[in-house]
Amino acid sequence: MALFKKRKEERKDDLWEKCRSCQEVVLKRELERNLRVCPKCGYHFPISARRRLEITLDTGSFEEMDPHLSPTDPLKFKDTKR
């Protein structure tokens, strides 16, 4: 058992992300600053719905009404293409 725990250092590969379109390696900080759009080719990286709302709406202008509401499937839809 170690007496001191080593601080987890950020690995170099955690700092970069490769564009799926142009294969350019982009700094993650730069991607976030550019709203997850590749600065070289304009490819839009996927973002979560919550992040999209944060980008789109002004701070304090949106109030989530029921955060624990889950979707329902009253028609019992079955996907036949899978």
Name the more confident of 75 and 5. Answer: 75
Q: Structural domain of residue 27, as residue ranges?
A: 12-56
Residue with tokens 């979707």: 71
pLDDT on residue 10: 54
Task: Say whether pLDDT at 80 is over 80.
Answer: yes
Contact 34, 26 (CB under 8 A): no
Q: Rounded to an integer, what distance in angstroms lies between the CA atom of residue 49 and that of residue 68?
A: 15
Number of domains in the chain: 1
pLDDT on residue 46: 96
Burial of 38 (0-12, 13-18, 19+ CB in 10 A): buried
Band the pLDDT of 82: cuts 50, 70, 90: low
- Asked, for residue 5, whether it belongs to a domain, the answer is no
Q: What's the pLDDT tens digit per position in 17-64? A: 999 999 999 999 999 999 999 999 999 999 999 899 999 999 889 888
- Asked, for residue 66, whether it belongs to a domain, the answer is no
